[in-house]
Structure 1
Amino acid sequence: MRSYTFLEFLDLEFLKDGNGASCGVQKIEVPRLQRDYAHGRRSKNCENVANAFLNALFDVLKKKEEELHLDLIYGYQDKRVFKLIDGQQRITTLWLLYFFLYKKSQKIDKIKDKLARFVYNMRRSSKDFCEELLEMEEEFQLDKKPSETIFSVGATSGDCGDDPTVQAMVRMLDLIHKKLNGKDTESFIKRLKCISFNVINMKDFGLGEDLYIKMNARGRPLLKCEKLKAFIEDGNIKDGTKISRKILSAIDNQWSDYFFVASDPDTFDDTFDDTFDDTFDERFFNFLHYANVFFALKEEFTPKKELEEGSEKSVEDIAELLSTERAINDSYRFLKEEKNLELLDRAIMQLPKWISLKNLKIKGPEFFGKRKQNKQKKKHGKQREDEEDREEIKEGKLGRKDICHFFAFLFLIEVRGQCVDTAVVEDYLRVCQHFIENHDWNDAGDIKSFFRLLKEISQGITCTVKEGKENEFYEFLSCFELESEFNREVYALEKRKAKLIYNDGVYDEKAQGWKKILDDTSVHDYLRGYVGFLLDFSMEHGKENLEKFVQYAELTMGILDIFFKKTETKDPGLSHLSLFQRTLLCFGDYSVEATNQFFGNLYKPGLFRFRELVFKLFRKKPNDEGKPYLQRLLDTLLSLNSQKPVQKEELPKKMQDIVENYTRSQGVYLSQISCPLIERSWWEQLLLQRQELFEFINAANWGNSDRLQECGRIKFERDRKNKLQRVYLLQAKKDSEQARDLLGYAFYCHCKQYEKSEQNGEGVVRIDLDYENNKRNRQFGIKFDNKEFAVFADSKESTITLTKTLTKTKDNVEGDKEGNKQKHSFDINLGSHTDVLKEFGRVFGEMRERITIEYSQSEN
């Protein structure tokens, strides 16, 4: 039987036929069913075996022995891969030895492609490490221990750092480095040919994976959650007694069973592949990891340690505590305390029982990781919109909101246990959602503040519900004063709502009362219980009016559903956001002066900082006094339908009627509007009467539901005396090349409308060039009787300029240089009490008249 050197083995010489073909095999691997690499483990027995094997190899390299035969290597061919059955320990050590010898001799490039044919594919992390070691070999520093270099360049980050095979391979490299220190590697490389072995392809005997499985116990990757479980089971709790067998059994059985449930059974076959292992590991580990954070914070928030709240060190500590990449060490000690494990056991038992609760965010094990939806669910179901948590979720971590939802649930289990009464549970979870969802998240430090807040709120849950106290949680909330200053605004709102519900005494969710309507606003995925401005609207004689609030709340939810949430409608005149923007503008300039935002942030209800902008505009008042603009609109809608409530499907038509009434008849039938259209500024008149302007600033969001997009807005350019110079339409908060001059774009739309009208007859007027952002001499091109002109509207100079470019001829060799352009300038009145659309019509008419006269004279 022929013997092979390691390089001949990597060259697949043992598979080649008489013509030199290798049967299509491209890789040699240690497959998933194998055991971990053991030669480099730190245990005494493994280290003895590793040193004995290295000594035998180096005896040959040092010429102490003439040659070394490593006996048989077994494997079988599986399509394009040769899978090792026996001998993977020896082959892996040889692979590491060849890598280091050739690297130290600066000859790695000669065999790098051959080394790349071998991978330890027992689990994905060991496979990745083999590949990354070769990819990052240029960063390998030979004057340091390999482990130091490998850790510094990040080759063992993430899962690799927890993989025992990877750890053993790094350790073996350190042992090889030690033996090669000060040695002549050139002579050693020449002696490598003296080390050989035989290879048997089991396929030649008609044997393959069946024999393989019989020869080896079925292997299973060491999951990160298993390492954490081993850490829990390995130690004693603080009082010196061991964790009870009951709890340890529950961890291995009931807990594991909960996380083994697959959200989409069709994605799994009879074997547990990498995807299944990763999913189970991620979910189970995250459950334990973030529970440990909960218990760590619980210990910290004692009277002695609360003084550290808000310090810089405190924020750094919570960031470190939240990291899923940190080593499994004493920082996880809280999971060794039996009382904490008993709480988690109660949580696992309760989760399936409470899955139907509408306010419980944890709807199954997928909450803790790998929340992949099938295409049907993704198309029709509710998608996650919390962009601020996107990176954490993408990396297999819980987002900040979900961490707090988990904390709220654990507090509930801690205080209430397995109480079957769900009414108070729903009330508590609903209020917690309001705090979590209506917060502008800044950093990890907010999680610590939320912990303290949730700890205080959970005091309102008692173990029993006394007779006649179905509303006990709201009773507590209505009179409880927070010690924490965190999220005070939302707490004040929740306390205000709790008082209304408690004093009302109507607890039936089907009966009309404060509880029913406030619950409706709570489940609305845009409001999410953030209704302080609507409560303010409903005030009469210093007291909230329930009937008024119901009317305002239902109308507002309808407006948000129709105009602010993405729909499939393609009718921009009725259901597009711009219709609502124009309608509200009828009642006054509701924009926020600092940024002049006009609700450009369509369809991102998951982000409170975007919803908050809308709520801020909803509260806007004329000169910060009187009735807010939105309330004026709501009252107008109610007055138009005094006999019955306005249905949300009717809102587009009602809005259109308001806009048309205001712009065509100066709003004579609208008592809530005090300022006639003629008295509005020129740019407000144009925004109100040309729907294309608002549609432009909304376009970026309307066309893209996945990309994070900030508000569109109106930008004012003023001089030092605060006199308005120009106005621009922006699709985002920052200026860009896509910005359009409001006057120029509005005049372009006016000309475009004329082009399509019956007045244009046989098409004498045509838009030749669409609008562009040339800020100096042209915004669009137009043809009058086949004569081409560039149009530029300048609000600073209050002019609209028409420029005719001369064609280059023999007599006019200068062609279209600046001095050879014919310009016609027309003044436009943009002052107060001026109808701007009439000015557009007048200027347009003068343009046609000027061109007709001049060119008829030139032809004569």
Structure 2
Amino acid sequence: MSEKQPIKEKSFWALLTEDNFKIEIPTIQRDYVQGSRAAKDKGIPQKFIADIYEALKTNTKLSLEFVYGNTTADKKLHLLDGQQRLTTLFLVHYYLFLATCPHKKENEYGKTFQARKDTWQKERAPLGNFCYATRSNTRDFCIQLLSNKNLPLSLTNAPTKKLPVDTHNEKGNEIFPNLSAKIIDEPWFNFPKDDPTVSSMLNMLDIIQQKFSAEEQECYGFLNKLKGPVAQCPIVFNFLNMQELKLGDELYLKMNARGKPLTDYEIFKSKLTEWLPKEEKILSSPTSQNTAEFKLDNDWQQIFWNKAVVLEDTLEEKYKKGYICRMDMMQFRFFEQIALLLFLQQPSSLGNSTQTESVENILENFQLLKQAPGLFGAQERPENLKALLHVLEGFHDFNNHQDKANTIHKKISEALDNIITKDLSYKARLQLFVLFLFWKEEKNRTNMNILAQWFRVCYNLISNTNIDEAGEFKKALSSLQKLYDGYKQSAKSNFYEFLSSDNPNIEAFDQNQVKEEKEKSRIIQQKALGENVLLEAESHAYFDGKIGFILNFSKDSAGNYNQANFQSYYAKLSRLFDKKLENVFQRALLAFGKSSNIKYNYLPLKGNGYTFCPIDSAIRTKKDTWHKVFDDTNKTNLLKGFLDSLPNDFSYDTLEKFCTDFCTKLDNKYNTFNRIMHPAYCTDWRYLFVKNEYKLLSNYREIRYASPNSVIFNKTSGRTKWQKQGELYTYAFYQYIVRNKYNWNCHYEWGHKQFSIDFEDHSYRLSYNNSCFMLTRYEKKEDNWVPTNRQWQLMLVQFPQLFYIINVLINND
């Protein structure tokens, strides 16, 4: 042990008064559970309180073993172990002070009531130095408990009449009415009753109340013992101030008297502290409060505390989504991901070793505690430790100086929240790498304008490139590194100037998006459009940075960008690309096509078929659907024409009218006689999709198109999506039968090459081929149904007439 003997016997009161510590419980996930209902049912808290009572009553030493934590220059004690025991001691002290609160207003011992009350309040004040620093409900509950203006004096009055048996302690003495109920009834109590820590504290107060006597003299005696010198105090523990001793992993693990291992972060932090330089200061400021060691326990840790508090509000919901809200786990994940990026940058990890260990394996199997000594502890790699500390300082600077109303700053904050809570996707890791590149060097670290430019461009590139395998991720890392190195070497005044003038080669990302980002940088540099206007459009939930097609729409006749045009087009598009309008938007745009030939409509190719383009935020779906529209001149011209035809104040009904007018126009092409033999959908297959009564576009997203009279759509999605298919005309007629509740015993037979309406007994089958329906009679031979030579070929007719004809044929056989 060191000469300073860092392990010392202490009492709870001594920590608050002699050492003058402000005890903070920093770890948000560790609820106070010693008084929980589950523990109470097992008798655990009752036994602990009984042990405390017995020790105080008999002056017997009760050692609570090890309590340890880190202290700061401003006398804050951040507990690593001892939260449960010290919280219970806090509640015991609170109860004893409450039981000894002056409540008799006549003079006693020559003192007035107010003087005695002032003295009591002063003596109780140190309890205010115990708090839950980052758990808002618990922190506020403790503050309100100790507030002098909230003091429930009625609780200290001895009862005037015999109370029920459950309001007597074990010795038969009368006690206060149920303490937790009285507290809950106080006007200041506005905390959720199901908050685990608050409810556990209330339960513990009831247990303390049940065990301890309400007699003031006994409570005075117990309180004086707890407040007395440590050597005479019955309730003590071994306290270790971690700041006074640098510990290795083994000793760290031995410190926990309960046998509960320390968290991975606590172990990593102990090693990191050992690796920090003792003489040379890595950070620029020479003052002690700006050393890495000081910031690790203060400024940098505070970032994660603050984020944990924000996430706490919806803790239960986020747990279901896989969120990890414990502060130490959040820190560990952040350090692990930064270390992983450093590891991937080493030539040995992305060079020859990739022949034996793939990037995918590295990402899946990387362990911070295993790799940290080689990354940060090795003397030959001081740049890694510097990079780690500079990234932390950059994170801290951003956190303190960010403009929370700034769109890009919000995205940066979201990117950091994602990586430390739930999201380890390639996209999330690449976004962290973008920040890592900017922050790992001290120069220009605090330049928020350049950071916003750099992150915005990279965010758009990452968001609009499909990166879903390790090889693509590796190429993207390399491309971002080259892009940032190119910017640093260019000596340009800002990143937009570099991107628009140097025209760098940006590999691994969607080249249409690369071209768009260069053009937007030029637009911003030349102030052709306001940057905020572009940012608003980029932040749309669906576009997510891809707005080049809107820029093209906004050009005037001279080819110059017009801001009013841009804002007008964006206003319409932002409303159309809403999941609520998806179906009517698709139908209206389909109706706006130039003809029944699918090449002159908006539907893009997807594999062997065409897609109606769902409004789905997944990048793979976007790339296969709307992005193909945005990048196709003919299709964007069609979209622009559609937007031009919409009034600024269009509504759902406006879009529905497009569909109705389209169908009415086709209907009116034929007179009454011709409509019987030649319905509108006979000349334009779109009719059955646009006319919403058939509900085709609501359920099916893709079609295979050979001609206007040969349209097939898929039933299922994924790998089997073309295994079950439907044919447009037979399925629409089947929907007509079902919707009108005609009493036909039939079902639709999904197929791969053949599709039909089969009647229940299989005697008849209706199929479609060569622009007409075919009704075929079947007969059963042995165990199989086989077609007969009795067939009727029916020209395309209106569905009511088709139903009538088939009904006659079947019934008359």
Q: Does 1:429 align with 2:395?
A: no
Out of 445, 465, 474, the residue aligned to residue 439 of structure 1 is 465
Superposition TM-score, scaled by structure 1 size: 0.52
1:729 maps to a residue whose letter is: N
Q: Which AA in structure 2 matches 1:234? A: E
Aligned to 2:547: 531
Q: What is the distance in 2 between the residues matched to 1:445 and 1:647? A: 46
* In 2, Cα distance between equivalents of 1:556 and 1:480: 30
Q: In 2 relative to 1, CA 259–540 (structure 1 residues): closer, same or farther, beyond 3 Å?
A: closer
Q: Which residue of 1 aligns with 2:629?
A: 618
1:358 counterpart residue number = 407
Of 730, 736, 743, 2:729 maps to 743
1:583-622 matches, within 5 Å, as 583-584=592-593, 588-589=597-598, 590-593=602-605, 595-599=607-611, 602-605=614-617, 607-619=618-630
Q: Cα–Cα, structure 1 residues 766 and 453, in superposed 2: closer, same or farther, change >3 Å?
A: same
The DSSP-based 3-state class of the residue aligned with 1:546 is coil
Q: Deviations over 1:236-286 (max 9, x none)?
A: 66x9958686211110222222212322445799xxxxx999621221012
Which one of the candidate residues 679, 699, 703 is aligned to 1:714? 703
Distance in structure 2 (CA, Å) of the matches to 1:748 and 1:535: 45
1:73-92 CA-to-partner distances (Å, cap 9, x unmatched) read xxx9963487999xxxxxxx
Paired with 1:268 and 1:845, the residues of 2 have a C-alpha distance of: 61
From 272, 292, 301, the equivalent of 2:339 is 292
Residues 249 and 319 from structure 1, CA distance in 2 versus in 1: closer, same or farther, beyond 3 angstroms? farther
Q: Where do 1:566-581 residues align within 5 Å?
A: 566-567=579-580, 575=584, 577-581=586-590
Change (3 A) 1:369 1:417: same
- Tell me the distance in 1 between the aligned counterparts of 2:420 and 2:472: 25
**2:388–2:440 contact (8 Å) kept in structure 1:** no
Query: Are residue 663 (structure 1) and residue 712 (structure 2) matched?
Result: no
Q: Report if aligned partners of 1:619, 1:628 keep a CA contact under 8 Å in 2.
A: no
Matches within 5 A, 1:393-792: 393=422, 398-414=424-440, 422-458=448-484, 472-487=494-509, 489=511, 490-503=513-526, 505-506=527-528, 513=529, 515-535=531-551, 544-547=559-562, 551=565, 554-555=568-569, 558-559=572-573, 561-562=575-576, 564-567=577-580, 575=584, 577-584=586-593, 588-589=597-598, 590-593=602-605, 595-599=607-611, 602-605=614-617, 607-619=618-630, 628-638=634-644, 640=645, 645=648, 647=650, 652-653=655-656, 655-656=658-659, 659-660=662-663, 663-664=666-667, 683-684=685-686, 686-689=688-691, 692=694, 694-695=696-697, 697-698=699-700, 712-715=701-704, 727-733=712-718, 734-735=720-721, 739-752=725-738, 755=740, 765-769=742-746, 771-773=748-750, 779=757, 781=759, 790-792=764-766
SS at 2:544's partner residue?
Answer: coil
Q: Aligned partners of 2:299, 2:626: CA distance in 1, in Å? A: 45
Instruction: Kindly state the Cα deviation for residue 345 of structure 1 after the two structures are TM-superposed.
Output: 2.1
Counterparts in 2 of 1:324 and 1:579: CA distance versus 1, 3 Å: farther
User: What is the CA deviation profile of residues 209-230 of structure 1, one whole-angstrom value per residue up to 9, with x for unaligned ones?
Assistant: x999856778675111122222
From the superposition, tell whether residues 723 and 449 of structure 1 become closer, same or farther in structure 2 (CA, over 3 Å).
same
Contact kept in structure 1, 2:609 and 2:702, CA below 8 Å: yes
Q: 1:780 to 1:501 in 2, by over 3 A?
A: farther
| 1:846 maps onto 2:812 in alignment | no
| TM value normalised by structure 2 | 0.55
Measured in 2, the distance between the counterparts of 1:416 and 1:781 equals 77
Q: Secondary structure at the match of 1:263?
A: helix
Output the CA distance in 1 between the equivalents of 2:267 and 2:801. 80
1:328 aligned counterpart, secondary structure: helix
Indicate the structure whose relative CO is greater, using CA pairs within 8 Å and at least 6 residues apart. Answer: 2
Which whole-Å deviations, capped at 9, do the CAs of 1:368-391 have from their partners, x for residues lacking one? 5675xxxxxxxxxxxxxxxxxxxx
Q: 1:150-165 residue pairs with structure 2 within 5 A?
A: none
In the TM superposition, residue 341 of structure 1 has moved relative to its aligned partner by: 1.3
Instruction: Indicate how the Cα distance of structure 1 residues 524 and 661 shifts in structure 2: closer, same or farther if over 3 A, else same.
Output: farther
Contact 2:394 2:445 in 1 (8 A): no
Whole-angstrom distance in 1 between the partners of 2:585 and 2:358: 45
Q: CA deviation at 1:619?
A: 5.0
Residues 434 and 620 of structure 1: is their aligned pair in 2 closer, same or farther, counting only changes over 3 Å?
Answer: closer
Query: What's the counterpart of residue 38 of structure 1?
Result: none
Gaps of 5+ in 2: 1-29, 49-80, 84-207, 213-225, 227-232, 240-256, 317-321, 671-677
Correspondence for 1:337:
385
| Contact 1:581–1:599 (8 Å) recurs in 2 | no
* Contact 1:559/1:648 (<8 A) preserved: no
Contact kept in structure 1, 2:733 and 2:799, CA below 8 Å: yes
In the superposition, relative to structure 1, how do residues 729 and 684 fare at CA in structure 2: closer, same or farther (>3 Å)? farther
Instruction: Give the letter aligned to residue 332 of structure 1.
Output: L
Deviation of 1:232 (Å): 1.5
Match of 1:16 in 2: none
Q: Residues 747 and 840 of structure 1 are in contact (CA less than 8 Å); yes or no, is this contact kept in structure 2?
A: yes
Aligned to 1:224: 264
Q: Distance in 2 between matches of 1:341 and 1:355?
A: 23
Q: Is the 8 Å Cα contact of residues 610 and 702 (structure 2) preserved in structure 1?
A: yes
Summarize deviations over 1:432-469 as a string: whole Å, max 9, x none: 21011111013234444333433444468789x99xx8
Aligned position for 1:818: 785
Residues in 2 aligned to 1:741 and 1:213: alpha-carbon distance in whole angstroms: 82
Secondary structure of 1:714's match? strand
Q: Distance in 1 between matches of 2:571 and 2:609?
A: 21
Tell me if the contact between 1:802 and 1:825 (Cα under 8 Å) persists in the aligned partners. Answer: yes
Shift of 1:652: 1.8
Q: Residues of 1 paired with 2:770 and 2:235: CA distance?
A: 83
- SS for the counterpart of 1:222 is coil
Report the equivalent of 2:201.
Answer: none
Look up the match of 1:20: none
**Deviation, structure 1 residue 480:** 2.2
Secondary structure of the residue that 2:507 maps to in structure 1? coil
CA distance in 2, matches of 1:693, 1:362: 42
Say if 1:530 and 1:557 are closer, same or farther in 2 by CA, change over 3 A: farther
2:278 maps to 1:250: no
Q: Distance in 2 between the 1:777 and 1:359 partners?
A: 52
Equivalent residue of 1:527, what SS? coil
Letter in 2 for 1:565: D
Residue identity in the other structure for 1:739? Q
- How far 1:815 sits from its partner (Å)? 11
Q: CA 1:723 to 1:526, structure 2 compared with 1: closer, same or farther past 3 Å?
A: closer
Contact 1:279 1:369 in 2 (8 A): no
1:749 is displaced (CA, Å) by: 2.8
State the secondary structure of the residue aligned to 1:226. Answer: helix
The aligned runs of 1:11-160 (5 Å cut-off) are: 79-80=41-42
Change (3 A) 1:449 1:213: farther
CA distance in 2: counterparts of 1:242 and 1:327, whole angstroms:
24
2:548 and 2:502 map into 1 onto residues whose CA distance is 19
Displacement after TM superposition at 1:407 (Å):
2.2
Q: Distance in 1 between matches of 2:448 and 2:596?
A: 45
For residues 292 and 651 of structure 1, do their structure 2 counterparts lie closer, same or farther at Cα, with a shift above 3 Å needed? farther
Structure 1 Cα separation of the partners of residues 364 and 688 of structure 2: 52
Cα displacement (A) at 1:655: 3.5
Distance 1:235 1:540 in 2: 61
Structure 2 distance, partners of 1:560, 1:739, is: 34
Q: Which amino acid aligns with 1:779?
A: I
1:183 is matched with none
The answer to whether the 8 A contact 2:764-2:776 is kept is: yes
Which sits farther off after the overlay, 479-488 or 532-541?
A: 532-541
Contact 1:559 1:651 in 2 (8 A): no
8 Å contact from structure 1 (residues 352, 364) kept in 2: no
